[in-house]
Amino acid sequence: MEGVFAGVRVVELAQWVFVPVAGALLADWGADVVRIERPEGDPYRGLATQGIGADRAGVNLSVALANRGKRSIALDLSTERGLAVLHELLAGADVFLTNLRPGALARLGLDAESLRERYPALVYARGHGFGVRGPDADQPGYDASAFWARGGLADALTPPGHDYPIHQRGAMGDRNAAMALAFGIAGALLRRSRTGEGAVVDVSLLATAIWTLSSDMLTALQAQALPRPTDRAASPNPLVGTYRTADGRHVQLVYLQGDRYWPDLCRALGRADLADDPRFADMAARRAHAAECVAELDAEFGRRTFAECAALLSTLDAPWAPVQSVHDLLDDPQVLANGYIGEVRDEGLEPYRLPAVPVQFDEQPPLLRRAPELGEHTEQILLELGHDWEAISALREAGAIP
């Protein structure tokens, strides 16, 4: 299938994770994403973390995930000739994608106002930490600072009694914000197809955190106390919770309509008496006697193995799930059937797997392609722009390209 963004040219001037991942999502679905890297490369190429970066032999999976399917040109934008090449690319581009800070963009003449005036049909998309206005607009922001810490997630998700906020998982904010930025770009391209006008698209990590915590935000907006991780026995609905099995596994019940599912669960557990127990007769009763209800369910799940609990719950047309580790997901039949983890195959490389973009078209996951080496397509792209080999040599002598 031809990608839905086939024919769209994206010029990406970005580094690290957030904005490059947005470019990778567009590339997954057919956009020609030309990645501008400085001659020494994106510092993310050298980041060693979690055993998946530069400290591990073979493919740098972090870089591969953020940059798959793109082309790379190495340009020194501090040189007049390098900046001129960037403008040649922008002249034929549909989207300019960046996460450079406002001050840096202004110094290069790449601020939104300048580029929109020069290229009126351009979609100018930028990702940032804290938004483009306010006292911290030019402050650097990573997902651990702008999303996790300042955005409220560290506080909201740290259980009571911890001396320090818990750490986030890698790049959670970056990849969520990247989805929002790709969505914004798609919307801007749709509007341009109708009006011919470009747009400025903005997504910040701080705004993404607020959206992620929308339920808590609604509580705060009503000046109410925020929900916190609590004792399971104090649950307002014992049928929404996690229960441990005899072999140490866990199952998650999500019976939001407790009165609908409670009788069937009791029968499946062989405890029809619980369905008739006035303490548990309805949602209000179960809430008033939550500790007793949780204790009864703890005992029932606790005397069965995980396999027995899974078989029992699978007989009910009710929402539940096993609590799985990330390693479990690698072989989850539902993950495999839907292609949620793709494989990159390229000549000369051992195949490797990466998470796929969550969006599918026509029930098909995208074909994943490898990430480019630093400056791998520099000469190819310059030739496409009309430079001959003599001109390319001149650019190299001028220090515009390595």
Catalytic residues: 174
Long-range pairs, 263-267, Cβ under 8 A, ≥24 = 264/316, 264/318, 265/239, 265/316, 265/318
CB atoms within 10 A of CB 190: 10
Interhelix angle 205-212/172-195, nearest 10 degrees: 100
Q: In what order do the strands lie in the sheet with 95-98?
A: 71-74, 32-37, 9-13, 95-98, 123-128, 199-204
Residue where the block lists tokens 């019976």: 255
| Sign of CA pseudo-dihedral 13, 19, 21, 23 | negative
CA distance 204 to 173: 10
Distance between alpha carbon 200 and the CA centroid of its chain, in Å?
Answer: 21
SS3 state of residue 150:
coil
Read off φ and ψ for residue 364, nearest 5 degrees.
-125, 135
Q: What is the 3-state secondary structure (H, E, C) of 22-80?
A: HHHHHHHCCCEEEEEECCCCCHHHHCCCCCCCCCCCCCCHHHHHHHCCCEEEECCCCCH
Residues 266-275: contacts with CB under 8 Å, at least 24 apart: 268/312, 268/313, 268/315, 268/316, 269/300, 269/312, 271/296, 271/300
| Cβ(125)–Cβ(188) below 8 Å | yes
DSSP tag of 248 = S
